[in-house]
Amino acid sequence: MISIANQISNDIERDGYSITHGLFSESVLDTLRIYAESGVGRGKYKSAGIGSGSQYQIQERIRGDQIWWLDREEGSVIEKVFLQFDRLKDDLNQSLYLGLFDFECHLAQYKSGSAYERHYDRPLASKRRKLTVTLYLNKGWSSNDGGNLRLYLNSGLEQFIDIVPRFGTLVVFLSELFAHEVLTCNRDRHSLTGWFLERP
Ligand code: OGA
Ligand code: MN
């Protein structure tokens, strides 16, 4: 049977993006979901901005999520998540020679009613971002809940795929190639988003 990492690698090679389930066990996903939700009441999430350096600003109409940057934390579920992404990085480097060097990630919370307009993840200030990964943590999400990730398949607006942010769905794509947006959600929406970085 083909492993999930192989599947991701084949998808990236063929299409530049991948949508899979199963890289993480149910128990890791559930512990991560509880961890993510626990940060809300503890003030861990900060409004996310756009731009960088002196251009940095918070504009909730453009980007409505709140984020919690993560550090490798020994003994917690976050360590397991980092280790799993380390393994994926090694597998992708072996099969695709992508030169992935490091990984950074944050948890994100979109309050009901918020969205993130169409953008690329590789602005000038984040030139090292090679691959974007997003892991969804929403149990019982239905298509009425909105909040799809819309991934544009070329530079125009006509061709896209919509990905429902269901519990355990993992999206991986080449950061430079794909514009994307988060459609308005009708329910609070939780996810982990990260980037595999090239060598500085
Ligand atoms: C981002 C982003 C997508 C998502 O954080 O840059 O585009 O589906 N997130 O949460
Ligand atoms: Mn993005």
Q: Whose CA is nearest to atom 5 of ligand 1?
A: 193
CA distance 66 to 49: 9
Mean pLDDT of 158-179: 97
Cα(14) to ligand 1 centroid in Å equals 22
Q: Which ligand is nearest to the CA of 189?
A: 1
pLDDT value for 180: 98
Rg from Cα positions in the chain: 16
Choosing from 19, 182, 191, 196 the residue with most ligand 1 atoms within 8 A of its CB, the one to mutate for a pocket test is 182
Q: Do 122 and 42 form a contact (C-beta atoms < 8 A)?
A: no
- Average pLDDT for 71-90: 96
Q: Exposed, middle or buried by CB within 10 Å (0-12, 13-18, 19+), for 120? A: middle
Q: Which ligand is nearest to the CA of 147?
A: 1
Q: Is 182 in the pocket of ligand 1 (CB under 6 A)?
A: yes
pLDDT at residue 43 tops 70:
yes
How far apart, in whole angstroms, are the C-alpha atoms of residue 10 and residue 125?
29
Residue 122 CA to its chain's centroid (Å): 13
> What's the pLDDT tens digit per position in 12-27?
999 999 999 999 999 9
Residue with tokens 């992935």: 100
pLDDT cut 70: percent of the chain above it = 99
109 CB less than 6 Å from ligand 1? Answer: no
Report the separation in Å between the CA atom of 1 and the middle of ligand 2, taken as the mean of its atom positions: 32
Give yes or no for residue 124 having a pLDDT over 70.
Answer: no
- The preferred substitution site among 145, 151, 180 for testing ligand 1, maximizing ligand atoms within 8 Å of CB, is 180
Q: Which ligand is nearest to the CA of 106?
A: 1
pLDDT attached to residue 126: 76
Q: How many A from CA of 121 to the centre of ligand 2?
A: 5
Range of weakest confidence among 51-65, 77-91, 133-147, 160-174: 51-65
Residue-wise pLDDT for 70-80, tens only, equals 999 888 999 99
Sheet strand arrangement including 17-20: 17-20, 170-174, 129-136, 189-198, 100-110, 66-69, 46-47
Give, as residue ranges, everything with CB less than 5 Å from ion ligand 2: 121
Residue 115 has pLDDT above 70, yes or no: yes
What would the mean pLDDT of 98-116 be, rounded to a whole number?
Answer: 97
Which stretches within 4-76 are classed as H helix? 4-15, 26-41
State if residue 138 touches ligand 1 by the CB under 6 angstroms criterion: no
Q: 96 near 162, Cβ under 8 Å? A: no
